[in-house]
């Protein structure tokens, strides 16, 4: 079944030669089938390993490797990519019209880069060697950079460059870290690395902090995520930035010394990032920029989780999934409004939108529920992070109060935004006809998000994720 | 109690429990879908009957559980076995009654809603949320596992949010709270449905997150999440006094906010922007009572009377007084209130305070106090749901949400009048009606606290009871006897009348259970009714009731009344102070964001630009200028090397 991981490659090559609708179906299947398979792998605890090439040190053996951790990230990436592929069709058609471009021709380019972008992220989590992982990181960066550069909004060339420079700095720092790991161990193959030196750890960690991002470097993200074409935002924000967390996790599973020695600063930084970005959300006038700040806030959860012991790290994995689900739904709802109202994204011009686009409003509700952990998989993320906090810091108020505030703020901005955008006095827009492709994918993700807290899916899902932690978890 | 619980794996209950929770939700999906796609189809408006049928099925199952499932039975269904967390349903004294109560009230209000909401513009949303709410409430009621309980708990929150903000267009004066356009010290003193929803969920989140942490901490320290199985005494011993206090307060933040205790009371008042059916079910009978119910449930198994822990004792004392003070505050508010539903909302808050206080008294007086509190919850639920349903009917026929109506209303709506009169008399604590016996037991509980050096609780309880009875009489009087003249739009109302008549008749059933001693626990209350304190309080309450009936408003006190109906200016905390603090923080963050943005995206690029320009300036291409620079550099190097060398 391992060959299904190659389906996205097929789609990347073949989709540009098909008509736009067929290309959409192909891209959808190329990710949906891997979603089903990796979901199944997660449940069964299957570990895959395929050797590619033995290279001399310090690179070492290059191979494809998939354990429960890969599957947990992999099924998320595949599912979101499949759903966003469907959504891309009506959205990008609107965007090409808006930009005055030839729809047929542009779709060829679009499908090439879209599939390449999504595929590289999927492969990243199945890479068994850090150099391979880095290569996929860079491919995803270049593909997404090109998509923003070509089809973004506003000052798109500047934004694309900004995005490229920041994430490239992040990537290069991580690369130096990987090379140091390679020098130290004589290999970059994940199964052969014995220890990770402090400098290498620091470089990887700082690089990934820029990509994640934490407070300070976070400043590139609102630009990139707000001005990217929405389907790209719906991959960037939910999937790409969180992969920084995946990279840290991989190093953590080899050698957790760095995180354990700097637990408290990481916790403090995570809390600060999250509260700071959470507060930033309230002031945003642009729907997509608002969501971008919320991403930064949610990435703060990840840092908090890293600082909260084994259960906290388990929380990080679930947080990645729940954030990916929630944020992809939300970016797609923002995009749906942009598509049906010809570029409407100013929150102040919205109000009572539920009157006109009820299906999108209800989908956005599912998205915000996932972010705030209400009746959705987000609940488990919060639960395990909190359990980790209790494990490590006991009932110390200085640790628990700020973390509680972090979670409260997410709930507050979620429903504040719902109220401002979708409820209240309707502003007198026309009721549009919403393409089913613009809202159905959102519900598919939303429903999976709800089902993941109930048996039987919850039982299988959490048992599967637990396997990634081996015997560490009780 | 924990020792008495027998853990049985009744595997045959699986389909029954699945039906209990899933039927209401599945039965409301047709209307939800119909409303999304075929809103105008004539059959779409008939689908709510299906939703109510779903509620009926749930109700029957709760009845089955009440009569046929042995007390103390637990049913376990695997959920997260990898983490030792499972769906654990418990059927004990509290949950069996509470489940049946929820099932019955939800069903009756569902029937009422068929008529009340029939012309509504958003039926799909309404019925889906209504039934989701019922399922969540039943989950909270029957769950022994705290994480599973939290699913239901969050379901309550989200359904409540959805239903309060149901009329999201904010275009109907009848759905607002407060006098439209009124300002107090520059602050808008009226609230719209969309705002009410946001207020509710934002307040509840503030309580739910600490509670969520407490649950995670219990899992971390006790290794078990089943309320009936945790060794609370050992857990508290390990945590020490301070740890116990932190854990309990964090946990109780959930119940405090859900049950609208001070200072989290405002959301319940603005929740009255929702449809009246919602106020009746969620914001009086069940959801707000879930907070007190949960407190009773954990007290039932913690058994705080059996051991002593400084942290726990302090928390119970805190809950006792918080409950009483919230109750007094809310009773005063209700006395000054003119809006039908907000008056009832304040009275609900007052009752919730009493439930907390009585249950907290169990620390000193044992299990009996929890039972008293629980029975008060039951009596209150039926009486208050009835009053809300009546208020909804009155709002329909008068097109006015403020109290109003003279004897003509009583004549033309005889049934409604009689139902209201009976409900108020029963709830006020006038002997020998239903609440009297329960209130007498509560008097005894508070009386018992005097022996433990606390005289204040009894005084507060008597004061509250007197005010409580007065505003109930005021509600009756101002709507049916001595209120302003109103114009009635009488048509239909059959289903609504039937629903609240059945609802109020439940008070007779309860009365029967108490007086005949058919129900063992309630039968004990009967004796408390003949204690002298109880008789004295009963007499005082009766006097106050009839005084208020004759004189429902006192013009000389209108200024005081205004202050009270302005909710003692509590909205300033919620609408001015807290948001102001929030906005200041947001503004600071915004300035920082601009600063960081400027630094990275303008200052740094500008620096490199100017550096590059100045470096380019040097490169003029004249040999002479390069020579000069080289010579100067050599000179500087010579000087430096001679100094260093020397």
The pLDDT tens digits of the residues spanning A26-77 come to 999 999 999 999 999 999 999 999 999 898 888 999 999 999 999 999 999 9
Residue A369 phi, psi (nearest 5): -65, -40
Pairwise CA distance, residues A33 & A38, whole Å: 9
Q: Name the minimum distance, in Å, from the CA of A107 to any CA of chain B.
A: 31
Q: In sequence order, what are the beta bridge partners of A66? A: A48
CB atoms within 10 A of CB B569: 13
Pairwise CA distance, residues B100 & B59, whole Å: 7
Q: Name the minimum distance, in Å, from the CA of B585 to any CA of chain A.
A: 7
B556: enclosing H helix or E strand: none
Helix, strand, coil percentages, rounded to 5, for chain B:
75, 5, 20
Pairwise CA distance, residues A135 & A175, whole Å: 10
Q: Name the minimum distance, in Å, from the CA of A386 to any CA of chain B.
A: 6
Quick check: bond before A458 cis, omega within 30?
Answer: no
Q: In sequence order, what are the beta bridge partners of A63? A: A51
Give mean pLDDT, residues B77-98.
94
| Candidate from B78, B168, B600 with C-beta closest to A354 | B168
Q: Are strands A48-54 and B187-188 parallel, antiparallel or unpaired?
A: unpaired
Between chain A and chain B, how many beta carbons pairs sit less than 8 Å apart? 147
Pairwise CA distance, residues B299 & B293, whole Å: 10
Give the CA dihedral B609, B610, B615, B616, nearest 10 degrees. Answer: 70
Interface test with B, best of A415, A439, A456 (most B CBs within 10 A): A415
Pairwise CA distance, residues B130 & B327, whole Å: 28
Of the candidates B332, B339, B329, the residue with the CA atom closest to the CA atom of residue B276: B339
Q: Do A379 and B202 touch (CB under 8 A)?
A: no
Of the candidates B532, B362, B381, B377, the residue with the CA atom closest to the CA atom of residue B457: B362
Whether the Cβ atoms of residue B431 and residue B469 lie closer than 8 Å to each other: no
CB atoms within 10 A of CB A292: 30
Interface test with A, best of B36, B121, B213, B595 (most A CBs within 10 A): B213
Residue B520 Cα distances to A339, B359, B371, B516, angstroms: 65, 19, 11, 9
Pairwise CA distance, residues A147 & A152, whole Å: 7
The secondary structure of residue B573, as a DSSP letter, is I
Provide the token pair at A249: 């996790």
| Candidate from A375, A412, A459 with C-beta closest to B80 | A459
Residue B108 phi, psi (nearest 5): -60, -45
Residue in this structure with the two tokens 């720092």, named with its chain if needed: A173
pLDDT of residue B370: 96
Pairwise CA distance, residues B500 & B43, whole Å: 27
Q: Which residues contact B172 (CB under 8 A, 6 or more apart)?
A: none
Q: Quick one: closest CA in A to B209, which residue?
A: A404
Q: Which residues contact B476 (CB under 8 A, 6 or more apart)?
A: B420, B421, B424, B549
Interface test with A, best of B82, B129, B146, B247 (most A CBs within 10 A): B82
Q: So what's the ipTM on this one?
A: 0.94
pLDDT of residue A471: 60
Q: Do A412 and B205 touch (CB under 8 A)?
A: yes
Chain centroid to CA B592:
38
Q: In sequence order, what are the beta bridge partners of A127? A: A64
* B4 pLDDT above the threshold of 50: no
Pairwise CA distance, residues B86 & A248, whole Å: 32
B484: enclosing H helix or E strand: none
Local structure of B94: helix, strand or coil = helix
* B628 pLDDT above the threshold of 90: no
Residue B91 phi, psi (nearest 5): -120, 90
Question: Using a CB-CB distance cutoff of 8 angstroms, which residues of chain B are in contact with residue A415?
Answer: 161, 197-198, 201-202, 205
* % of chain B residues with pLDDT over 90: 83
- Helix/strand number for chain B, H first, E second: 26, 4
Beta strand ranges found along B185-299 (DSSP E): 187-188
A62: enclosing H helix or E strand: strand A61-66
Q: Do A383 and B82 touch (CB under 8 A)?
A: no
Angle, CA B232 vertex, CA B228 and CA B235 arms, to 5° = 135
* A245 pLDDT above the threshold of 70: yes
Q: Confidence band (pLDDT; 50, 70, 90) for B11?
A: low
| Candidate from B171, B219, B585 with C-beta closest to A279 | B585
* B155 pLDDT above the threshold of 80: yes
Going from N- to C-terminal start, the domains of chain A cover: 262-467
* B10 pLDDT above the threshold of 70: no
Q: Are strands B73-80 and A61-66 parallel, antiparallel or unpaired?
A: unpaired
Give mean pLDDT, residues A179-201.
93
B254 touches chain A (CB under 8 A): no
Q: Do B80 and A425 touch (CB under 8 A)?
A: no
Cα separation of the two ends of chain B: 93
Q: Do A400 and B213 touch (CB under 8 A)?
A: yes
pLDDT of residue A463: 92
Interface test with B, best of A165, A383, A460, A464 (most B CBs within 10 A): A383
* B2 pLDDT above the threshold of 50: no
Q: Quick one: closest CA in A to B149, which residue?
A: A375
Whether the Cβ atoms of residue B41 and residue B78 lie closer than 8 Å to each other: no
Pairwise CA distance, residues A255 & A233, whole Å: 33
Give mean pLDDT, residues B573-599.
92
Q: Which residues contact A291 (CB under 8 A, 6 or more apart)?
A: A225, A226, A233, A237, A327, A330, A331, A334
Give the CA dihedral B636, B642, B645, B646, nearest 10 degrees. Answer: -140
Q: Confidence band (pLDDT; 50, 70, 90) for A472?
A: low
Question: Using a CB-CB distance cutoff of 8 angstroms, which residues of chain A are in contact with residue B158?
Answer: 369, 374-375
Give mean pLDDT, residues A439-450.
96
Whether the Cβ atoms of residue B215 and residue A384 lie closer than 8 Å to each other: no
* B5 pLDDT above the threshold of 80: no
Q: Are strands B183-184 and B85-91 parallel, antiparallel or unpaired?
A: unpaired
Pairwise CA distance, residues A375 & B290, whole Å: 18
Provide the token pair at B287: 């959801």
Per-position DSSP letters for A386-447, written without gaps between them: HHHHHHHHTT-HHHHHHHHHHHHHHHHHHHHHHHHHHSSS---PPPPPPPHHHHHHHHHHHH
Give the CA dihedral A9, A118, A177, A162, nearest 10 degrees. Answer: 130
Whether the Cβ atoms of residue B293 and residue B244 lie closer than 8 Å to each other: no
Question: Using a CB-CB distance cutoff of 8 angstroms, which residues of chain A are in contact with residue B81?
Answer: 459, 463
Pairwise CA distance, residues A335 & A344, whole Å: 9
Question: Using a CB-CB distance cutoff of 8 angstroms, which residues of chain A are in contact with residue B36?
Answer: 358-359
Of the candidates A154, A151, A188, the residue with the CA atom closest to the CA atom of residue A59: A188
Per-position DSSP letters for B348-388, written without gaps between them: HHHHHHHHHHHHHTHHHH-HHHHHHHHHHHHHHHHHHHHHH
Helices B93-116 and B48-68: crossing angle in degrees, nearest 10, is 160
pLDDT of residue B40: 81
CB atoms within 10 A of CB A161: 14
Residue B597 Cα distances to A159, A216, A228, angstroms: 13, 9, 18
Q: Quick one: closest CA in A to B206, which residue?
A: A408
* A393 pLDDT above the threshold of 60: yes
| Candidate from A384, A403, A412 with C-beta closest to B202 | A412
Pairwise CA distance, residues A121 & A137, whole Å: 7
Question: Using a CB-CB distance cutoff of 8 angstroms, which residues of chain A are in contact with residue B219?
Answer: 387, 390
| Candidate from B208, B246, B582 with C-beta closest to A395 | B246
* B626 pLDDT above the threshold of 90: no
Whether the Cβ atoms of residue B352 and residue B322 lie closer than 8 Å to each other: no
Q: pLDDT, tens digit, for every residue of B120-145?
A: 989 999 999 999 999 999 999 999 99
Q: Confidence band (pLDDT; 50, 70, 90) for B618?
A: confident
Residue A463 Cα distances to A460, B78, B85, angstroms: 5, 12, 11
What is the Cβ-side half-sphere exposure of residue B55, based on CA atoms within 13 angstroms?
Answer: 30
* B8 pLDDT above the threshold of 90: no
Chain centroid to CA B418:
29
| Candidate from A358, A455, A462 with C-beta closest to B36 | A358
- Burial of B349-388, coded b for 16+ CB within 10 Å and e otherwise, reads bbbbbbbbbbbbbbbbbbbbbbbbbbbbbbbbbbbbbbbb
Per-position DSSP letters for B97-113, written without gaps between them: HHHHHHHHHHHHHHHHH
In whole numbers, what is the pLDDT of chain B averaged over residues? Answer: 92
Chain centroid to CA B236:
27
Helices B310-336 and B340-360: crossing angle in degrees, nearest 10, is 160
Whether the Cβ atoms of residue B156 and residue B136 lie closer than 8 Å to each other: yes
What is the Cβ-side half-sphere exposure of residue B243, based on CA atoms within 13 angstroms?
Answer: 17
Q: Name the minimum distance, in Å, from the CA of A416 to any CA of chain B.
A: 7
Q: Which residues contact B339 (CB under 8 A, 6 or more apart)?
A: B177, B178, B272, B401, B402, B403, B565
B184: enclosing H helix or E strand: strand B183-184
């Amino acid at each position: 079944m391992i060959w299904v991981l190659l389906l996205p490659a097929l789609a990347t090559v073949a989709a540009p030669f098909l008509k736009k609708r067929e290309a959409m179906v192909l891209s959808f299947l190329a990710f949906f089938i891997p979603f089903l398979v990796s979901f199944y792998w997660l449940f069964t605890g299957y570990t895959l390993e395929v050797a590619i090439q033995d290279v001399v040190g310090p690179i070492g053996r290059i191979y494809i490797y998939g354990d429960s951790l890969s599957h947990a990230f992999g099924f998320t990436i595949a599912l979101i990519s499949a759903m966003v592929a469907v959504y891309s069709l009506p959205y990008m058609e609107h965007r090409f019209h808006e930009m005055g471009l030839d729809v047929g021709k542009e779709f060829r380019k679009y499908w090439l880069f879209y599939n390449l972008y999504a595929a590289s992220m999927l492969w990243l989590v199945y890479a068994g060697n850090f150099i391979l992982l880095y290569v996929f990181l860079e491919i995803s960066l270049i593909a997404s950079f090109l998509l923003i550069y070509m089809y973004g909004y506003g000052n798109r060339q500047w934004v694309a460059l900004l995005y490229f420079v920041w994430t490239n700095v992040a990537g290069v720092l991580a690369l130096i870290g990987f090379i140091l790991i390679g020098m130290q161990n004589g290999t970059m193959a994940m199964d052969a690395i014995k220890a990770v030196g402090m400098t290498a750890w620091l470089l990887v960690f700082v690089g990934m902090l820029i990509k994640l991002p934490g407070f300070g470097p976070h400043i590139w993200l609102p630009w990139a995520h707000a001005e990217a074409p929405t389907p790209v935002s719906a991959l960037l924000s939910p999937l790409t930035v969180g992969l920084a967390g995946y990279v840290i996790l991989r190093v953590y599973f080899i050698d957790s010394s760095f995180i354990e020695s700097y637990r408290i600063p990481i916790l403090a930084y995570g809390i600060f990032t999250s509260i700071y970005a959470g507060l930033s959300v309230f002031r945003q006038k642009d729907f997509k920029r608002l969501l971008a700040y919320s991403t930064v806030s949610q990435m703060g959860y990840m840092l908090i989780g890293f600082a909260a012991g084994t259960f906290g790290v388990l929380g990080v994995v679930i947080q990645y999934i729940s954030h990916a689900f929630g944020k992809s739904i939300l970016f797609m709802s923002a995009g749906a409004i942009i598509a049906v109202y010809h570029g409407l994204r100013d929150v102040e011009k919205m109000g009572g939108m539920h009157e006109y686009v009820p299906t999108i409003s209800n989908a956005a509700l599912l998205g915000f529920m996932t972010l705030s952990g209400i009746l959705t998989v987000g609940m488990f993320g919060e639960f395990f992070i909190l359990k980790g906090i209790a494990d490590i810091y006991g009932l110390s108020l200085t640790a628990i109060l700020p973390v509680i505030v972090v979670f409260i703020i997410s709930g507050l901005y979620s429903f504040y935004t719902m109220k401002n955008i979708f409820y209240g006095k309707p502003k007198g827009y026309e009721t549009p006809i919403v393409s089913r492709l613009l809202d159905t994918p959102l519900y598919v993700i939303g429903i999976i998000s709800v089902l993941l807290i109930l048996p039987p899916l919850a039982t299988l899902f959490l048992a599967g994720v637990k396997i990634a932690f081996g015997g560490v978890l009780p | 109690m924990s020792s008495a619980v027998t853990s049985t794996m009744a595997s045959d209950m699986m389909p029954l429990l699945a039906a209990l929770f899933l039927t209401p939700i599945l039965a409301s999906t047709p209307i939800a879908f119909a409303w999304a796609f075929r809103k105008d189809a004539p059959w779409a408006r008939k689908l709510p009957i299906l939703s109510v049928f779903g509620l009926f099925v749930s109700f029957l199952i709760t009845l089955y559980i009440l009569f046929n499932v042995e007390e103390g039975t637990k049913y376990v269904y695997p959920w997260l076995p990898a983490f030792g967390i499972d769906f654990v349903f418990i059927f004990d004294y509290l949950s069996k009654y509470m489940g049946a109560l929820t099932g019955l009230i939800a069903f009756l209000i569902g029937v009422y809603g068929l008529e009340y909401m029939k012309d509504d513009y958003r039926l799909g949303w309404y019925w889906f949320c209504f039934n989701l709410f019922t399922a969540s409430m039943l989950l909270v009621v029957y769950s022994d596992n705290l994480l599973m309980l939290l699913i239901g708990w969050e379901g309550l929150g989200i359904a409540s949010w959805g239903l309060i903000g149901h009329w999201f267009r904010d275009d109907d004066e009848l759905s607002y709270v407060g006098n439209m356009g009124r300002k107090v010290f520059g602050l808008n003193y009226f609230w719209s449905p969309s705002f009410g929803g946001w207020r509710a969920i934002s307040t509840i989140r503030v309580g739910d997150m600490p509670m969520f942490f407490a649950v995670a901490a219990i899992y971390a320290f006790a290794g078990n999440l089943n309320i009936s199985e945790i060794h609370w005494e050992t857990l508290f011993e390990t945590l020490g006094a301070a740890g116990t206090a932190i854990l309990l307060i964090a946990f109780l933040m959930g119940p405090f906010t859900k049950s609208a205790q001070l200072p989290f009371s405002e959301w319940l008042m603005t929740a009255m922007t929702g449809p009246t059916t919602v106020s009746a079910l969620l914001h009086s009978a069940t959801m707000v009572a879930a907070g007190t119910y949960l407190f009773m449930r954990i007290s039932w198994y913690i058994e705080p009377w059996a051991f002593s822990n400084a942290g726990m004792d302090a928390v119970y004392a805190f809950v006792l007084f918080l409950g009483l003070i919230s109750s007094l505050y809310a009773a005063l508010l209700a006395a000054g209130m003119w809006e039908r539903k907000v008056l009832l909302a304040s009275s609900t808050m007052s009752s919730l305070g009493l439930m907390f206080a009585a249950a907290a008294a169990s620390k000193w007086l044992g299990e009996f106090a929890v039972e008293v509190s629980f029975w008060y919850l039951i009596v209150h639920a039926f009486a208050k749901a009835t009053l809300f349903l009546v208020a909804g009917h009155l709002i329909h026929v008068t097109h006015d949400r403020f109290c109003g109506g003279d004897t003509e209303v009583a004549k033309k709506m005889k049934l409604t009048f009689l139902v209201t009169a009976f409900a108020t008399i029963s709830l006020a604590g006038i002997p020998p009606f239903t609440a009297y016996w329960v209130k007498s037991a509560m008097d005894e509980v508070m009386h018992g606290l005097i022996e433990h050096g606390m005289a204040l609780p009894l005084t507060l309880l008597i004061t509250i009871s007197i005010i409580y009875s007065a505003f109930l009489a005021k509600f009756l009087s101002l709507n049916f006897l001595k209120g302003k003249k109103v114009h009635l739009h009488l048509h239909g109302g059959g289903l609504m009348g039937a629903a609240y008549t059945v609802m109020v008749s439940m008070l007779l059933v309860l009365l029967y259970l108490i007086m005949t001693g058919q129900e063992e626990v309630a039968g004990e209350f009967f004796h408390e009714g003949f204690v002298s304190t109880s008789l004295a309080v009963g007499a005082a309450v009766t006097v106050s009731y009839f005084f208020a009936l004759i004189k429902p408003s006192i013009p000389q006190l209108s200024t005081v009344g205004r202050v009270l109906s302005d909710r003692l200016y509590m909205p300033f905390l919620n609408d001015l102070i807290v948001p102001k603090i929030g906005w200041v923080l947001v503004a600071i963050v915004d300035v920082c964001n601009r600063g960081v943005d400027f630094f990275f995206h303008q200052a740094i690029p500008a620096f490199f630009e100017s550096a590059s320009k100045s470096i380019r300036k040097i490169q003029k291409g004249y040999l002479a200028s390069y020579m000069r620079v080289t010579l100067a550099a050599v000179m500087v190097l010579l000087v430096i090397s001679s100094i260093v060398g020397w």
